[in-house]
Amino acid sequence: MSDLDKKVQPATELLPGAGYPKQKSKYKSVAIKAGLVAFAFFISAATFSARGASRGSYGVNTDVCSQAAELIPEKNGVIWESSNVRYDTLPFKKRAVKWLGGAIRIPTETYDEMQPVGIDPRWEIFHVFQDYLLEAFPKFHKALKLTKVNTYGLLYEWKGSDASLKPLLLAAHQGVVPVENATLGQWQHEPFSGHFDGEYIWGRGSSDDKHGLIGIMSAIESLLELGFKPTRSVMLAFGFDEEIGGLDGARSLAAVLLERFGPKSFAMLVDEGIGYGTQYGQVFALPGVTEKGFLNIQIDLASPGGHSSVPPPHTSIGMLAKLLVEIEENPFEAHLIRGSPTYKTVQCLAEHGSEMPLAWREVIRLSQYSDEALREAEMLLLQNPIIKSLAGTTQAINLIRGGIKTNALPEQAWAVVNHRISMESSLNETTSRQTDLLRPLASGFNLSYTAFGAFLSEPDVPAYGSLNLSYAPGASMDPAPVSPTDGGAAPYDLLSGTIKAAYNSHRDIEGDDNIVVSPGIMPANTDTRHYWNLTDHIFRYRHVRLGGRLPNNPHTVNEVMEADNFIEIIRFFTALVLNADESELI
């Protein structure tokens, strides 16, 4: 243990109700405050692409958390003002609730093991959903050209008058995660009711991701009713299987877009992602400028069967259990890296969070220049499990199976370990690390060892059984490229200014400091994984308000969307289309 490690060992005292140890810091005794717990909630609701980079290798950005100005449409100013007046009216609010509620009532559930389109009848519900869209948005469907891709993928083109301008690309998905029958009694309102209680719209898909899809269509329907005609083309890509990897939906849509427009042909892409919420006395928005990689490793173990009355020292299940314990007891290391989205978020909190403790702000600011301060900040921040999960590669054992009878030795046992890969790592690094980790156990149990197609045991040596590591069925991906944010990156600045305009106009306030925009990292995966070749400027952001009276609850019981927030989402997409339309910089 180094002298520095000895200096920063955590004290044993715990903050009341927080569960995180205080730290004895050389920087004014920096302590973990309850605000860190709140930050965990915020950023979870919520880099440069350098694989295997060492700590601090990104360098120093002296312009910390600079902010773009609020961006209010000027050429399209009349349309913008008319939209704002309309969105404040009770008839429009009722209409918006009806739009989203109707979409929720169609149960477009997708399952992990669905057969291809045209074979599995469960896909057919998407016909019903698309008939609903056609009826609900008549002007939209009259003005935009629709191409159906792989039957259920929806590609809309709103053609602009200037073909020299790169189009704006907006994405969303039609499918939702299934509702477990066992949870039906826990729902306050039926999961596909689209019930409106006067404040919230209830049901599966309300916060993931039908509010995004319907929000986009609602904004465009309203713009068309106001007579708006775009100069810059707008493309909409609505996949249908994002919840199971997007292999049939977004991947097919991306292929058509690439063939039709070519690589790097779009000005920017906005898909679902992180929203905004209050932290340390300041409202922060965190558009995801990248997302972590994704990998499922399947571990298959085989050994001789037999009668349970004469058992060996270790059964297949017992050996597999030991392997899984070894994995959990050896998590991946996590580090704060200067320039990474997680580090930039922390910097923004320190610069603009007026209620953050002064000592915290000092150590975060010093960490930009001092390696010792960086280690100090890392030691403090990475005790928070959410921040730690964003900063490093995570692993979670999610599936396990083995054995068929109580008196028969199991001949097969298997498990699947899910990994979310950090920006500083890769698929290859992750598989190599797990391969090396389990090699001693494979040898100790006298198992032949194959990992990702490579036979790693001694040839011609008799083995008691076999151990095989492989990619589990489904998608895997390296961490996403990072969208530029520094040095006046025009698409990021346009998005930032649009967020501020939507936020301010919804509240009828003025000023650039009402909401601060910071680059963020998307911890989950989206359809954007299939669109990397179309633009360098990909943002994972939905203008969703976090921390309301009720949580949004995506993927679980009582999923809801606040009706007032849904109106603000429509306002955001309206501002985004108008601002992109008149921008000369993207």
Q: Which residue ranges are tagged as binding site? A: 173, 208, 243, 271, 555
Under the phi-then-psi rule, with left for phi > 0, alpha for psi from -120 to 50, and beta for the rest, what region is 234?
A: beta
**DSSP letter at 519?**
-
Tokens 């009349």 locate to 78
In degrees, to the nearest 5, what angle opens at C-alpha 412 toward C-alphas 411 and 415? Answer: 155
Backbone angles phi, psi at 8, to 5 degrees: -110, 20
Cα 549 from Cα 562, distance rounded (Å): 9
Cα 548 from Cα 203, distance rounded (Å): 17
In degrees, to the nearest 5, what angle opens at C-alpha 391 toward C-alphas 388 and 396? Answer: 65
Contacts of 37 (CB under 8 A, 6+ apart): 18, 19, 20, 384
Annotated binding site for Zn(2+): 173, 208, 243, 271, 555
Least Cα distance to 294 among 462, 522, 142, 461 occurs for 522
Cα 383 from Cα 523, distance rounded (Å): 18
Number of Cβ within 10 Å of residue 11's Cβ equals 10
The CA dihedral of 210, 213, 215, 217, to the nearest 10 degrees, is -140
Cα 238 from Cα 242, distance rounded (Å): 10
Q: Are 71 and 512 in contact (CB under 8 A)?
A: no
Tokens 């000027």 locate to 74
In degrees, to the nearest 5, what angle opens at C-alpha 405 toward C-alphas 402 and 407? Answer: 120
Q: Are 418 and 396 in contact (CB under 8 A)?
A: yes
Cα 286 from Cα 347, distance rounded (Å): 13
SS3 307: strand
Contacts of 490 (CB under 8 A, 6+ apart): 583, 585, 586
Backbone angles phi, psi at 237, to 5 degrees: -120, 110
In the chain, the amino acid numbered 221 is E
